[in-house]
Amino acid sequence: MSFELLKMVGDAQKKKAVIDVRSGDTVRVSQKIKEGDKFRIQVFEGTVIRVDRKASHTERIVVRKVTSGVGVEKSFLMHSPLVEKVEIVRRGKVRRNNLRYLRERSGKSARLTQKDFDRHAVNELPAEEEAPKAEEPAEAAEAKAEAPAEEKTEA
């Protein structure tokens, strides 16, 4: 009982669609930052070094970038309302999910081999499927479906 309730509440918090982000991707994450009573968008661009709980409402990515010689890692919840947009800039060729070894590397040894991909296709969110309209009763919908069939048989 309680598990079903937790799942229902978690699914209500999920976004309808999120981009498929993988480890090794270079991403640009736009996040809402609250300053006083105003919101602004801050962009954080770096390499995804970890992806957690992919199918869950608590899906998380850890993004790492090096700024002024200092490594900075930031964790983002993909279904958070504060995460506005995630855009994949580059796909890296990796063979594992957790890329912690990049923390000890710098310069050329910290680079990942680039993989070819269609940037526009990857950054588009999947189209939402239209649900049947609740306004029409099921009987009216069946009548509409039968009407064209009758016209075709008469002709």
Structure confidence at residue 155 (pLDDT): 43
For the chain, percent of residues with pLDDT exceeding 70: 81
pLDDT in tens, the chain (155 residues): 688 887 887 777 777 778 888 899 899 999 999 999 999 999 999 999 999 988 888 889 999 999 898 999 999 998 888 999 899 898 989 898 999 988 888 888 888 888 887 777 877 877 655 544 545 555 555 555 555 555 555 54
User: What domains does the chain contain, in order, with CATH numbers?
Assistant: 2-128 (2.30.30.790)
76-85 tens-digit pLDDT: 998 888 999 8
Report the distance separating Cα 97 and Cα 26, nearest Å: 14
